Amino acid sequence: MNRFFTSWKFTYALAFALLVGMFALRADDPSPLKILRNKTFDVMQRVWPREPPPEGYPINVRIIDLDDESLEAIGQWPWPRTRVAELVRILVDDYHVAAVAFDIVFAEPDRTAPAQLVESLEDITPEIRAALLRLPDNDQVLAETIAGRPVILGQATIPRGDPPAEGDIPRVVGFGIKNNTPGDEGQPRNHLLNFRNIERNLPELEANAPGIGMFSFSPDEDNIVRRVPLVVAVNGELYPALSVESLRVVLERLQGTRLSLFFQYGSEGARSVAFQGSQFSLPTDASGHAWVYYAPYTRDRYVSAKDVMDHSADPALLVNTIVILGTSAAGLQDIRATPLSEGLPGVEVHAQILENILSNVFLTRDQYAPMIELAAIIVAGLAIMVVLPLGGALWSLFAVILVNAGLMGFSYYQFREEYRLVGFVYPLLCSVLLYTFLTMMNYMREEQAKKQVRGAFAQYLSPAMVEELASNPERLKLGGEMRNMTLLFSDIRGFTAISEQFRGNAVGLVSLINRFLTPMTGIILDRKGTIDKYMGDCIMAFWNAPLLDDEQVDHSIDAALAMTEEVERINVIIEAEAKAEGRRFFPIKVGVGINTGEVFVGNMGSDQRFDYSVIGDDVNLASRLEGQSKTYGVIIVIGPNTHAVAADLYATLELDKIQVKGRQEAVTIYTVLGRKDMLSDPAYIAFKAKHDAMLVAYRSQDWDLAESLLAECRQMWPSLHGLHDLYAERIAEFRINPPGADWDGVYVATSK
């Protein structure tokens, strides 16, 4: 089950599900994603803000600021409508502005008008009352002033409440409607912001104003104003924004003809607001909004109303400009957060969008932008899913960086060159998340594989070799293979006699075996050997699997020699223990058989239980050689293939040509007398020459010479008395029963 959950198949199923989930989340586009995307657009605006229009531009935008200085000089707001009328007259007639737009609603009669004063004053004479009533009405003065002048009044939308009463329908600017999707019979207002009613100006003012526009706008979910509506729907009718209406009024005066507005929409929503007979076409998003490309805040955009009233303002700042009447005075400010500023007078938003329109620099986010972002998620995700298994984590990380750099570069190019808003952060996060997920799953899979390797080989190999194998599992062929290997069998001689001491004391016997096997195991593992199994007091080990070992013969023989040395140390300890306990001391003696050859190695057993082991004829021969060590009176017996490598590394001695039980072919067997330093020992060299000569005489059936040489060998190497006794017995037997003229010198073993 764990193997399934960490397989590539399961990983890719989860990765694909994750990719689909991220795609679906982007298609749903919840508020947190919108906020995150908009924040990246804010960063772009802060890094690359719009350049303000240069001086001398055909039509510029200025804000007539009802600042603190103006209120101090002229009086608190609201000013008398006559004073507002004077401001309009000075701007149009004296400073020759292109248009005056109000970011203000004159919804109620002027409280300073004569008629209003008469109602509020008490104890006035009839003559004074009559004189006041004969004075011009302030609102009428303003109405007459704006008549014939390029003045655009502002209106505010009312989201809730009752629709306008019959006979109180707000004035509607003529809108032409163009459906860009044939067969789509949907109402255009269905795509726009819809409101119940309008906060209007006084009827006499609206009747005389050349233009009326909406100045209402709403911030995004994070309270930042990024977009303003260019057209809204109120009670079923379409109304333009203050900026759009201001431009229409200016264009009418320049062209001398009445201009109509056209609202274009399609099945996906609003598309643009255009001017009949003009090159101006203002792109919008699906809800009729325009994205504001902000320029940095500058006081050069503001002109104090006081300076206008006293004619101290620079005429060059106002001539042929669209001016918007607003305020930056403390207590009157409509403060808004924008991508470039946390607090900006709301009137500047209208000025900024007008500058966008006049300079024909629009930020757009059309219906294709979401499609591009969705495609980026799929392309980036699939690229990572393809590259990761092929190139690994490092190349996949490079691919992720490359893909994300491409996304960022594309988004940057679209913003800087096309003024198009294409979000890259969410596709970037998706690719990083997918890469992290796949890398984590790959890590888990590798850890699971390492865990399996550790579990499978911890009982066979040294911890260092297990870790090496776990770190490089590609070096392991778990299915099984033929491989040249060196096999070692070791057994305790006379174990039956030893075990009789512990009759009725099984714990003591087990303790003795463990005391023997533990250091023997350590010796083998330290020399890169693999423990195949324990069979009572017998150890089976091999070299060159599962990890390759170019020095397998050297390591195996070195292990055998170290084992004999360790046995001597153990015997010293257990002899002391036997004396202390009053037991007879039986020394541990071992026999070791080593053979090299082609064998099959791999997992063997059943589906329920299996071991990593070896089988083959050379395995059996190694076992038989271990059994012959007792026969020849030596500790170590090695086969011919092992000797072919070991002859230059160790002091070896030929024992016999033997046909072991269960094998038809005869092999030459050898023993190991010492390490490499013995090869140059004169005593060894002389003894080996004498011993080889004895074997030649023995196989030539020259029994007298063989006995003579054998006697000399006894004197030269007394520790091999068991081997010499064996040959002495054979020579005596062959004297009585000659082997025959066709004898090839091969001894046929009758025991294992």
pLDDT digits (tens, 9 = 90+) for 684-730: 999 999 999 999 999 999 999 999 999 999 999 999 999 999 999 99
Give the lowest-confidence range in 75-79, 416-420, 609-613: 609-613
Q: With cut-offs at 50, 70 and 90, classify the pLDDT of residue 1.
A: very low
Can you give the CATH number for the domain in which 656 is found?
Answer: 3.30.70.1230
Domain for residue 365, yes or no? Answer: no
From residue 321, alpha-carbon distances to 63, 164, 212 in Å are 10, 35, 18
Query: Average pLDDT, whole number, for the chain?
Result: 84
Concatenating the DSSP letter of every residue in 596-649 gives: EEEEEEEEEE-SS-EEEEEESHHHHHHHHHHHHHHHTT-SEEE-HHHHHHHTTT
Higher per-residue pLDDT: 108 or 597: 597
User: Are 316 and 73 spatial neighbours (Cβ–Cβ below 8 Å)?
Assistant: no
pLDDT digits (tens, 9 = 90+) for 448-464: 666 666 665 655 555 65
- Shared domain for 234 and 313, answered yes or no, is yes
Position 7 scores a pLDDT of 61
How far apart CA 179 and CA 264 sit, in angstroms, is: 6
Domain for residue 26, yes or no? Answer: yes
Residue % of the chain over a pLDDT of 70: 84
Position 161 scores a pLDDT of 62
pLDDT at 169 over 60: no
Does this model's pTM top 0.85? My answer is no
- Shared domain for 267 and 398, answered yes or no, is no
- Shared domain for 303 and 397, answered yes or no, is no
- Shared domain for 18 and 140, answered yes or no, is no
- Shared domain for 96 and 231, answered yes or no, is yes
How far apart CA 186 and CA 192 sit, in angstroms, is: 12
Domain for residue 226, yes or no? Answer: yes
Position 484 scores a pLDDT of 96
How far apart CA 386 and CA 16 sit, in angstroms, is: 12
- Shared domain for 157 and 194, answered yes or no, is yes
- Shared domain for 122 and 249, answered yes or no, is yes
How far apart CA 119 and CA 722 sit, in angstroms, is: 144
- Shared domain for 431 and 467, answered yes or no, is no
pLDDT at 223 over 50: yes
Q: With cut-offs at 50, 70 and 90, classify the pLDDT of residue 237.
A: confident
Position 4 scores a pLDDT of 43
Domain for residue 426, yes or no? Answer: yes
pLDDT digits (tens, 9 = 90+) for 567-613: 999 999 988 888 888 878 888 899 999 999 999 988 776 655 557 78
**At 397, is the secondary structure helix, strand, or coil?**
helix
- Shared domain for 729 and 709, answered yes or no, is yes
Q: Which of 220, 337, 346, 221 is nearest to 289 (CA)?
A: 220
How far apart CA 32 and CA 659 sit, in angstroms, is: 84
* For residues 634-643, average pLDDT: 96
Where a domain ends, among 644, 674, 704?
Answer: 674
- Shared domain for 184 and 248, answered yes or no, is yes
Q: Torsion angle of alpha carbons 629, 634, 638, 644, nearest 10°?
A: -150
Give the lowest-confidence range in 116-130, 267-281, 687-701: 116-130
DSSP 8-state secondary structure symbol assigned to residue 582? T
Q: With cut-offs at 50, 70 and 90, classify the pLDDT of residue 146.
A: very high
Domain for residue 692, yes or no? Answer: yes
* For residues 559-573, average pLDDT: 94
Position 723 scores a pLDDT of 95
Domain for residue 42, yes or no? Answer: no
Q: Which of 148, 226, 163 is nearest to 200 (CA)?
A: 163
User: Are 261 and 248 spatial neighbours (Cβ–Cβ below 8 Å)?
Assistant: yes
- Shared domain for 106 and 188, answered yes or no, is yes
- Shared domain for 495 and 467, answered yes or no, is yes
User: Are 407 and 449 spatial neighbours (Cβ–Cβ below 8 Å)?
Assistant: no
Give the lowest-confidence range in 110-114, 347-351, 690-694: 110-114
Q: Is the dihedral of CA 544, 550, 554, 558 positive or negative?
A: negative
Where a domain ends, among 618, 651, 674?
Answer: 674
Query: Would you state the structure tokens that stand for residue 459, as one six-digit string?
Result: 């009982």
User: Domain range spanning residue 250?
Assistant: 55-359
Where a domain ends, among 643, 674, 705?
Answer: 674
pLDDT at 68 over 80: yes
Q: How many structural domains compose the chain? A: 4
Domain for residue 131, yes or no? Answer: yes
User: Are 461 and 526 spatial neighbours (Cβ–Cβ below 8 Å)?
Assistant: no
Position 238 scores a pLDDT of 86
Q: What share of the chain is helix, strand, coil (3-state, %, to 5)?
A: 50, 20, 30
Domain for residue 49, yes or no? Answer: no
279 HSE (CA, 13 A, CB side): 3
